[in-house]
Amino acid sequence: MPELPEVETIRAEIAPYILGRHIKNLEIYWPSVTRTQSSQDLILGTLGKQIIRVRRRGKYLILELNSQGIILLHLGMSGSLTLGAITGSAPKYARAAIILDDGTTILFCDPRKFGSMMFLDDTSALEAKLGPEPLESSFTPARLASILQRRRAPIKAVLVDQSLIAGIGNMYADEALFLARIHPLRRADSLTSSEISSLHQAIQRALRAGIDAKGATVSNYRRPDGSTGRAQEEFRVAHRKGKTCPRCGAIITRTMIRGRGSYFCPGCQPEHKSSIPSHIE
């Protein structure tokens, strides 16, 4: 599942191949990929334009175009971008393709159809709904403290809320909470300032490790050349139910929080009196 490190890996790996190129053609295999927008709006807004910058914001990929406008891409749960040339008919799960003036093709595949590709005038609508970038210097422990202040929801739910912090998903939230030794069901407003400092450091450490390992391949995620990431090999708790904690040897457990599987170590992340009661599988 593409989270910040996966999208950042894709951004860095496609940028050299697409920067400065013009969009020669756009193929849409699944019309709903543009969501509320029509296919025509996407095509008319982007055709012939030059890609002048490739950015990431949270889990979104942004292709900036000359003479105004952006292509906003979200990979959803199972989306991937593959670089290559078109050969024959579109592969299974292909949702759209961007063909550049040198023949380079960005193929967007997405089995579960949660992803999207749209043309927008600018990023203002996106900025309005996203919290800060967790790896930027403006994301300080004090900023994290103010985000957690007066929030009664489980800390896990707060970490994956894109309007509060952008880019953290299920896997890296679990990893960060493990590194900070905080139980995922702790009420966000119950964290002490030293726990907030640990969590701040843990978030950045988990995300940077993910980027360094080129993302985590748990199911569908692939790098643009088709290869897998390695970040999952370093996971301490995420997707490790029943295995032993590398720190204390306890058995990693999994519980449902907000309908999402949450992995943690009961030894390193003990239940706390302010935790929200739960049933553990």
Report the catalytic residues.
Answer: 2-3, 59, 260
Question: CA–CA separation, 259 vs 76, rounded Å?
Answer: 17
Find the part of the chain contacting DNA (CB under 7 A) among 14-22, 152-160, 176-184, 244-252.
Answer: 152-160
Q: Specify the length of the chain in residues.
A: 281
User: Which residues, 6 or more positions from 97, have their beta carbon under 8 angstroms from its beta carbon?
Assistant: 26, 27, 29, 86, 90, 105, 106, 107, 108
Sign of CA pseudo-dihedral 148, 11, 15, 75: negative
Query: Interface with DNA includes 208 (CB under 7 A)?
Result: no
State the minimum distance, in angstroms, from the CB of residue 186 to DNA: 12
Q: Which of 223, 256, 220, 252 is nearest to 236 (CA)?
A: 252
Rg (CA), the chain: 20
Contact pattern for DNA over residues 222 through 261, marking x by CB under 7 A: --------------------------------x-x-xxxx
Question: CA–CA separation, 159 vs 41, rounded Å?
Answer: 34
Among 19, 77, 90, 145, binds DNA (CB under 7 A): 77
Among 22, 24, 143, 151, binds DNA (CB under 7 A): 151
State the minimum distance, in angstroms, from the CB of residue 32 to DNA: 7
Find the part of the chain contacting DNA (CB under 7 A) among 14-22, 156-164, 200-208, 265-273.
Answer: 156-164
**Which of 51, 109 has the CB closer to DNA?**
109
The two beta strands, 105-109 and 80-84, are antiparallel
Q: How far is CA 249 from CA 57, 112, 120, 158, 236, in A?
A: 37, 36, 50, 28, 11
- The answer to whether 166 touches 62, Cβ cutoff 8 Å, is no
User: Which residues, 6 or more positions from 268, have their beta carbon under 8 angstroms from its beta carbon?
Assistant: 178, 181, 245, 247, 248, 250
State the minimum distance, in angstroms, from the CB of residue 16 to DNA: 25
State the minimum distance, in angstroms, from the CB of residue 88 to DNA: 20
**Which of 67, 192 has the CB closer to DNA?**
192
**Which of 152, 208 has the CB closer to DNA?**
152
**Which of 113, 272 has the CB closer to DNA?**
113
Find the part of the chain contacting DNA (CB under 7 A) among 13-21, 95-103, 132-140, 145-153.
Answer: 145-153
Provide, for the chain, the percentages of residues in helix, strand and coil under a 3-state DSSP scheme, each rounded to the nearest 5: 30, 25, 50
Q: Which residues bind DNA (CB under 7 A)?
A: 1-3, 32, 58-60, 74, 76-78, 111-114, 129, 150-154, 157-158, 160, 162, 169-171, 188, 254, 256, 258-261, 276
